[in-house]
């Protein structure tokens, strides 16, 4: 079974490389490299969003659609503080704290009220909360063109003759680092063990004395911090628009589904590949219109192949 899994993902990587080579065929190397680097940066954000969702889902059983809204509120706060002349690092910290506060507010006060409801009900409730947060953000900041930039945008390194900004390297490095750090935490700490126990059986975990509220609060906190960081990166690399950032959660869900809401490494691979293919499709006059649906097509194909003979479910009891 293990060999089969490795074979599946080696095949997946080969197919992704072949798709990139086909889309870039005949184009100048620098142009292909530019879109490849851009795709990796965006894919890192998709992966980060998916990782935050998977960590939370494994501990609480909640598929959180409000991650993007929390990130949007955070980066808009950072932008506003920057306009007021606040020290830049303080604005970044404020963004993460706002996202953390939004996540913890829902996780501590609203999520427990739905703890024993069906997974679909929990997910729809987070969507409603996301729309409330988006409405509040849109009320505070009217829809005007804005730009959010980080100092690392002005610093670049040359890789294979291409200038890559440090911001893009940070996005990519952070996604890989977070996967490793969370894996290490889940496998080496008491709280990590408790989170894994909750993922396996919430009812039994409660019976053996695991502090469910404490563990779930921690999971909501991790999810909020990741959402805040992702919002900052997304506002810089893509566009500072609350609606766009709020609904970045959709391709993040596709990345999370690639990992079957469980495997962080596969979420990372899925998110990166989605970003790259989406970016490379821009080079094709025929297929560039398919860019918005690329993450979902990839996720669907992965599920059809990787879960053949089984069925996808969001219920931890199945």
pLDDT digits (tens, 9 = 90+) for 184-204: 888 888 887 888 777 667 677
pLDDT confidence of 3, banded at 50, 70, 90? low
pLDDT(316) > 50: no
Other beta carbons less than 10 A from residue 217's beta carbon? 19
Domain boundaries, the chain: 29-304
For residue 5, pLDDT over 70 is answered with no
- Residue 314 pLDDT grade (very low, low, confident, very high; cuts 50, 70, 90): very low
Angstrom distance (rounded) from CA 184 to CA 189:
8
| C-alpha dist (Å) from residue 250 to 47, 127, 246 | 11, 11, 9
Position 317 scores a pLDDT of 47
Q: Using a cut of 0.85, tell me whether the model's pTM lies above it.
A: yes
Report angle CA 56, 57, 62 to the nearest 5 degrees.
100
Residues 6 or more apart in contact with residue 170 via CB below 8 angstroms: 152, 233
What's the token pair of residue 224?
Answer: 């909020």
More confident residue, 120 or 200: 120
Pairing of strands 162-165, 156-159: antiparallel
Strand partners, 164: 157
pLDDT band at residue 4 using 50, 70 and 90 as cut-offs: low
29-304 CATH: 1.10.3470
Instruction: State the DSSP H helix or E strand holding residue 162, giving kind and residue range, or none if neither.
Output: strand 162-165
Yes or no: say if 37 and 164 are a contact pair by the CB < 8 Å rule. Answer: yes
pLDDT tens string 8-39: 777 878 888 898 889 888 888 888 888 888 89
């Amino acid at each position: 079974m293990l060999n089969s899994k490795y074979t599946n993902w080696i095949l997946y990587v080969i197919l992704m490389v072949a798709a990139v080579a086909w889309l870039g065929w005949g184009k100048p190397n620098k142009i292909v490299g530019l879109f490849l680097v851009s795709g990796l940066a965006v894919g890192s954000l998709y992966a980060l969003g998916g990782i935050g969702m998977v960590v939370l889902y494994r501990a609480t059983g909640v598929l959180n659609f409000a991650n993007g809204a929390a990130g949007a509120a955070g980066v808009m706060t950072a932008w506003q503080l920057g306009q007021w002349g606040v020290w830049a690092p303080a604005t970044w910290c404020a963004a993460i704290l706002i996202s953390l506060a939004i996540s913890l507010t829902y996780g501590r006060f609203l999520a427990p009220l739905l703890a024993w409801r069906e997974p679909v009900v929990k997910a729809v409730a987070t969507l409603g909360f996301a729309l409330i947060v988006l409405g509040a953000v849109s009320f505070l900041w009217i829809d005007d063109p804005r730009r959010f930039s980080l100092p690392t945008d002005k610093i670049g390194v040359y890789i294979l003759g291409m200038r890559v900004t440090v911001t893009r390297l940070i996005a990519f490095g952070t996604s890989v680092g977070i996967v490793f750090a969370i894996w290490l935490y889940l496998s080496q700490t008491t709280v990590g063990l408790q989170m894994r126990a909750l993922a396996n059986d919430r009812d039994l975990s409660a019976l053996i004395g695991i502090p469910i509220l404490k563990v779930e609060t921690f999971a909501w906190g991790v999810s909020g911090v990741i959402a805040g960081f992702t919002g900052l990166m997304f506002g810089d690399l893509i566009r500072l628009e609350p609606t766009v950032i709020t609904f970045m959660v959709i391709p993040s869900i596709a990345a999370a589904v690639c990992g079957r809401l469980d495997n962080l490494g596969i979420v990372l691979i899925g998110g990166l590949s989605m970003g790259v293919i989406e970016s490379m499709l821009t080079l094709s006059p025929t297929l560039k219109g398919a860019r918005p649906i690329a993450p979902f097509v990839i996720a669907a194909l992965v599920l059809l192949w990787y879960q053949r003979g089984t069925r996808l479910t969001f219920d931890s009891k199945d």
